[in-house]
Chains A and B, each alone.
Chain A
Amino acid sequence: MNRPPSATRYNQRIPHMRARTFSGRGLGWLSSFMLVTVFLPSFSSASPLSDTARQLAHKIAAASGPGAFALEFTNRSSLDEKSVREVRSTLEAQLHVEGVHIAKPEQATGLVEVVLSESLRNYVWTAVIAIGSDEKKVALVSLPRPPTGAAVAPVMPIAVKTALLFAQEQPMLDVALVEMPGGLRLIVLGSDAVSIYDRQGASPSGNSIGRWELETSLPITHARPFPRDLRGRLLQRGDHLFDVYLPGIVCHSTPNAVAPLNLACSETDDPWPLTPDDSVRAFYASTRNFFTGALSPGIGKVSNVPSFYAAAAFQRTNYTLWAFAAVDGSLHLVDGVTDQAIRGASLKWGSDLAAVRSNCGAGTQLVVSESDDTAHETLRDIGHDSLLAFEIPDRDPVAVSAAAEFDGQIAALWPDSAGNGATAIVRKKDTGWYEAYRVSLTCGN
């Protein structure tokens, strides 16, 4: 991921020329589907499936002419049973309308073999029409396949709750929900732009949550190449809307009062804030995917820790305890005086962690990414990361929740500005799309 830029883009039109995509046509509609409802496993009843089934029936009728035909119907696609029933019933009804009647083989003058198949991009339905011993005729129709799958969040006594905020094909580095004039907006940090989405179609009753529509996109320019594993932060601010931190680049949005919204970026190696109040910052290695370990200012007397991927702070009675997920896989606990390395406890811990406040347990838990690494040893399918909540009552972290598993890899995990939740970006294993989740913790069942 994070290869800039990963999406097809085109220049302005040249007068006598036109942009071409040789194979992507017909999928553009997918990019406008932004909310959870898009990822329902089956089409709704007024779906393109019925339209396509009618198209196929029309082609069959054109090839066969009116008459009585036996119908063999096979599903070799990933369509679910309900959808297959819908296709078949629509097809049969339309055939009837067009004068092709379904009959038993012994009463039929011909045979129509319908196969629901699929390529990587499309559902492809074929019909082979045989009339007597004449040459067989073939009818074909297709329609784009939607992305599939949904994240699973197991229910356990202390639960990591995940709510899908947004999904898109292009990489996302961070997202934030913000109140702006005119209502709620979703800000999405990508590798080359900050995109702001407005919610459309939400009903006051809450029956419809609407969908996000792109309002504006603010480009981010950079001269130096970004790292392959590109990371970036979107931080909400008080005096202006937000700041963006990318390797070697910091961008500030224009003040709230200034319209239209704009983004001013500069190439700099300034340290990234680790806390919403900027009390601790850390330098990020601009050609890698980790923080160098240099802190500015330090935590108490500690101004250097080992290179790390992520950090989180817990408020204790008299001090703040910091946890660092180090590049070498260890966990470092820093209280301002000592730097305690824990290695044994980090089994299956991923590289990302975030402190999240809750009303349960110690009040603040550490949400940690995990890789399904045992898959490598057991030859199971890999690529299903999960989030788990931990507490650190004494020295060693203790798990306090079951894993909330995602159907893909966690590409980013950042705490939100208020500290009550976190944002997880997941790259879906099956579709390659990116999904942004709001992560929170709840107590009890």
Chain B
Amino acid sequence: MRPIAYLLLAAISLLGAVAAETRPHYGGTLRVMLQSAPSALDLPANATPAEYWDLSRTLSLIGNTLVRVDVQGRPQPALAVAWQSDASASHWQFTLRRGVKFHDGSAASPAAIAQILGALHSGWNVRAVADSITIESAPPLPSLLAELALPRNLLLKRNANGAPVGTGPFLVAEWQPSQFLKLAANEESWEGRPFVDAVEIEFGKAQRDQAIALELGKADVIEEAPQAASGSQPHSTSSVSLPTELLALVFPVNSRANDPRLREALALAINRKPIQSVLLKGAGEPAASILPNWMTGFSAVFSAQANPQEARILLADSHQPAPNLTYDLSYDPRDPQAQLIAERIALNAREVGITVQVSLSGAEDIRLVRVVLPSPDPTTSLSEAVRQLGLPQAAFSATAGGDALEDLYQTERALLEAHAVIPLFHLPVTTAEGARVRDWSPERRGPWSASRLSLADFWLSDLRSTASRADLPAQAASR
């Protein structure tokens, strides 16, 4: 060995006293801050994307679903260890994991699971049969496994106080609606006891306050605004998911902008690149498709290029706009980036001759919305996006050859050709973790699971700096 290299290696090995164990430690309290302030621990159907991710991440610590989907969208066992269906996908059977208990000590028996699932889906006939449950539905359920993996199908009971009782890695220890949730490790978790002893979640924290808390070492995991992976915080790590949200324009039923050529002209007028680079700080991808490319691989077929010249030609053929007609563009005021993006879209529209006014009052003609793409399964995400966008549910095409990719493409193309939605961007979900936070499962930092924001496999490399909320002075804790 070369002497210099040898000495250098030796010197490096003697620097400092910080260990870097590759194996997770047990103990400590993981401190999390979130923006949303839920008054109840459940997932409302009309949740905003921020609420959806926050509550999904929280409830997934408490409960389990029957199945999960992995990073590639393939079903994996959870409370069900095996499953089968008939050829029509109308009759499913799930064999349940044995010996699993709810946090209250009751058995997660087929009867208990069937009762919970049946209550969630009145259209399904859910029955307990020996060590299994069966699900029957008149309309076939070809994407049932992906559906069951969604957070809305977490198998949770409620205790007398309305708090969720599940089978997951953590149980509810303290719940102050809209403010604070403390979760304690479930020693009997069928997945193995989680590494941290507790998770404390403070709700209703503005992103700026979260960033300060992370900087001061008073939080371990926070949310960040979508931006290209930058590491805005020293001594922290940003986790940027694959795009799991769609920012789009939709036209309400009573919109005055009802000429398809006008809508197409508006789509061609929008220059997405500057919006992405400036307003979104490089995050996400310009989009002309509902589903992102990582789900389908064919988004290149739908061009997101601006073409003002073509827009003007289309507009000349359109019955609209009527002289002096101004279209109202609304946005979600809770979305910090929405107003600026809406104003930029209005500017692009005016450049081709469409008068658009950004407004939060009065009847809206165009709405800027952000929707969640909740599953790596493209069919499930497309159905969910259509529901959130308020579009008529698509009848999924079925080609003669049974080509799933071709079917998906034809379905999405049909949706877009109706010009009821103009996709703009696919956006990621971003979190930041403090320096002492480690993630046991590498896939958690990977593309799909990062968007799931699971904290169950986190562990803390340095337990000395743990100052849980309970340790803080009352005044500081209440701020």
**Residues of A near any B CB (own CB < 8 A):** 1-3, 5-11, 13-14, 16-24, 27, 74, 76, 115, 117-124, 126, 128, 138, 140, 142, 156-158, 223, 225-230, 287-290, 309, 327-330, 343-352, 369-371, 373, 376-377, 379, 382-383, 385, 390, 396-402, 408-410, 427, 429, 432
User: Are B300 and A346 within 8 A (Cβ)?
Assistant: no
Contact A410 B84 (CB under 8 A): no
A352-B84 in contact given A119-B296, A226-B192, A228-B193 (Cβ < 8 Å): no
CA distance A345 to B12 in the complex (A): 9
CA distance A229 to B196 in the complex (A): 13
Alpha-carbon separation in the docked complex, A223 to B296 (Å): 41
Bound complex: CA of A122 vs CA of B236, how far in Å?
33
* A218 to B142 alpha-carbon distance, docked (Å): 34
A10 contacts B442, C-beta separation under 8 Å = no
A157 touches B191 (CB 8 A): no
Contact indicator A229/B12 (Cβ below 8 Å): no
Chain A residue numbers with a CB within 8 Å of B20 are 347-350, 370-371, 373
A289 touches B13 (CB 8 A): no
- In the complex, how many angstroms separate the beta carbon of B375 from the nearest chain A beta carbon? 10
Q: Give Cα A397 to B22, complex, Å.
A: 19
Pairwise interchain contact A347-B17, C-beta atoms closer than 8 A: yes
Return chain B residues, CB-CB under 8 Å to A410. Answer: 22
A6 CA / B298 CA spacing, docked (Å) = 30
B23's partner among A23, A351, A376 (CB-CB below 8 A) is: A351
Indicate if B16 sits at the interface (CB-CB under 8 A): yes
Return the CB mask of B93-121 against A: 1 if under 8 Å, else 0: 10100010000000000000000000000
B409 CB–A CB distance under 8 Å:
yes
- Identify which of B1, B24, B403 contacts A229 (C-beta below 8 A): B24
- A3 vs B189: C-alpha distance in the bound complex, in angstroms? 11
Assuming the contacts A117-B300, A327-B25, A400-B1, asked whether A20 and B89 have C-beta atoms less than 8 A apart, the reply is: yes
Give chain A nearest CB distance to B88 CB in angstroms: 10
A408 to B24, CA, bound (A): 15
Q: Report the bound CA distance from A110 to B77 in whole Å.
A: 50
Given the complex of chains A and B, what is the CA–CA distance between A397 and B14 in angstroms? 9
Residues of B within 8 A of A (CB): 1-2, 5-6, 9-10, 12-26, 69-77, 81-87, 89, 91, 93, 95, 99, 142-146, 187-195, 231, 235-238, 242, 293-301, 376-377, 379, 403, 405-406, 409, 413, 435, 440-443, 445-448, 457
**With A14-B93, A227-B193, A347-B18 in contact, is A429–B442 under 8 Å at CB?**
yes
Which chain A residues border B191 with CB–CB below 8 Å? 3, 225, 228
- B19 cross-chain contacts in A, Cβ below 8 A: 328-330, 343, 346-349
Within the complex, which residue of A122, A138, A223 is in contact with B301, where a contact is CB–CB below 8 Å? Answer: A138
> A6, A24, A117, A432: which contacts B442 (Cβ < 8 A)?
A432
Minimum CB distance partner of B443 in chain A: A432
Report yes or no: B300 in contact with A228, Cβ–Cβ below 8 A. Answer: no
Given contacts A8-B77, A18-B86, A399-B9, contact A351 B22 (CB under 8 A): yes
Cα distance A329–B16 when bound, in Å?
13
CA separation between A376 and B403, bound complex, in Å? 44
Task: Name the B residues within 8 Å of A398 (CB-CB).
Answer: 10, 13
Known: A121-B73, A328-B19, A352-B23. 8 other contacts (CB 8 A): A119-B296, A157-B5, A329-B21, A347-B12, A349-B20, A351-B23, A373-B20, A402-B9
Q: Are B145 and A22 in contact (CB under 8 A)?
A: yes
Residues of A within 8 A of B15 (CB): 347
CB distance B81 to A156 under 8 Å?
no
Complex Cα distance A370/B445, Å? 19
Q: How far is the CB of B275 from chain A (nearest CB, A)?
A: 21
Q: Write the chain A residue with the least CB distance to B441.
A: A1
CB distance from B265 to the nearest CB of A (A): 18
A399 to chain B, nearest CB (A): 4
Chain B residues with CB below 8 A from A157, complex form: 1-2, 5-6
- Nearest B residue to A412 by beta-carbon distance? B23
- Residues in A whose Cβ lies below 8 Å from that of B237: 376, 379, 382
Q: List 13 A-B contacts (CB under 8 A).
A: A2-B192, A10-B83, A14-B93, A17-B84, A226-B192, A330-B19, A347-B20, A349-B19, A352-B23, A379-B231, A398-B13, A401-B1, A410-B22
Q: How far is the CA of A399 from the CA of B8 in the complex (A)?
A: 9
Contacts of B83 in A (CB 8 A): 10-11, 19-20
Chain B positions within 8 Å of A408 at CB level: 442
Kindly list the 6 A-B residue pairs having the minimum CB-CB distance in the complex, ordered from nearest.
A124-B297, A329-B19, A157-B1, A351-B23, A350-B22, A379-B231
A22-B377 in contact given A124-B296, A140-B298, A396-B14 (Cβ < 8 Å): yes
| Smallest CB separation, B189 vs chain A (Å) | 7
Shortest distance in angstroms between A225's beta carbon and chain B's nearest beta carbon? Answer: 5
Whether B442 contacts A5 by the Cβ 8 Å rule is: no
A156 engages B1 (CB within 8 Å): yes
Separation of A230 and B192 alpha carbons in the complex (Å): 9
Do B17 and A346 touch (CB < 8 A)? yes
Residues from chain B with a CB closer than 8 A to the CB of A397 are: 13
Say whether B76 contacts A120, CB under 8 Å: no
* List of A residues within 8 angstroms of B16 by Cβ: 344, 347
CB-CB < 8 A to A309: which residues of B? Answer: 21, 23
Task: Take A120-B71, A346-B17, A432-B71 as given contacts and tell me if A228 and B298 are in contact as well, using a CB distance cutoff of 8 Å.
Answer: no
Closest chain-A Cβ to B461's Cβ sits at a distance in Å of 8
